[in-house]
Structure 1
Amino acid sequence: MTEQPFPRRMPSRTADERTMLRQWLEFHRATFARKLQGLTPAQLALRSAEPSEMSLLGLLQHHAEGERWMFGCLFMGEPDVPYFSPVDFGDLTGADDAVVAASWAAWHEACARSREIEAAAALDDMTAMPGPWENEPVSLRWLVVHVIEEYARHNGHADLLRERIDGNAGW
Structure 2
Amino acid sequence: MTWTAPPPPPFGGSLVAGERELLEGFLDWQRAVLAGKCTGLTGAELAQAAVPPSTMSLLGLVRHLTDVELEWFHGRFHGREVQFHYKRPGAKDAAFDEIDPEQAERDYQRLLDQWASSRAAVAGNALDDAFEDELRGPMSLRAVYLHLIQEYARHNGHADLLRQRIDGETG
2:68 alignment partner, one of 66, 83, 106? 66
TM-score, normalization by structure 1: 0.86
Question: Does the aligned pair in 2 maintain the 1:129–1:137 contact within 8 Å?
Answer: yes
- Corresponding residue number in structure 2 for 1:168: 169
Classify the secondary structure of the residue corresponding to 2:56.
Answer: coil
- Corresponding residue number in structure 2 for 1:101: 105
Separation of aligned partners in 2, 1:8 and 1:155? 17
Separation of aligned partners in 2, 1:168 and 1:115? 30
Call closer, same or farther: CA 1:111–1:76 in 2, change over 3 Å: same
Matched, 1:90 2:99: no
Question: Does the aligned pair in 1 maintain the 2:67–2:87 contact within 8 Å?
Answer: no
- Corresponding residue number in structure 2 for 1:117: 121
Question: Does the aligned pair in 2 maintain the 1:49–1:164 contact within 8 Å?
Answer: no
Calculate the aligned-residue CA RMSD, in Å.
Answer: 1.9
The correspondence of residues 15-164 of structure 1 with structure 2, limited to 5 A, is 15-84=17-86, 86=88, 88-92=94-98, 95-97=100-102, 99-130=103-134, 132-133=135-136, 136-164=137-165
Distance apart, 1:7 and its partner CA: 4.7
Question: Does the aligned pair in 2 maintain the 1:49–1:161 contact within 8 Å?
Answer: no
Percent same amino acid at aligned positions? 40
Distance apart, 1:9 and its partner CA: 4.7
Call closer, same or farther: CA 1:29–1:85 in 2, change over 3 Å: closer
Question: Does the aligned pair in 2 maintain the 1:57–1:92 contact within 8 Å?
Answer: no
The number of equivalent residue pairs is: 162
Question: Does the aligned pair in 2 maintain the 1:45–1:92 contact within 8 Å?
Answer: no
Separation of aligned partners in 2, 1:150 and 1:85? 16
Unpaired segments ≥5 residues, structure 1: none
TM-score, normalization by structure 2: 0.86
Question: Does the aligned pair in 2 maintain the 1:45–1:58 contact within 8 Å?
Answer: yes
Separation of aligned partners in 2, 1:79 and 1:101? 26
Unpaired segments ≥5 residues, structure 2: 1-5
Call closer, same or farther: CA 1:53–1:91 in 2, change over 3 Å: closer
Q: Which moved more, 1:73-82 or 1:7-16?
A: 7-16
Separation of aligned partners in 1, 2:51 and 2:160? 11
Distance apart, 1:19 and its partner CA: 0.8
Which residue type is aligned with residue 40 of structure 1? T
Question: Does the aligned pair in 2 maintain the 1:71–1:117 contact within 8 Å?
Answer: yes
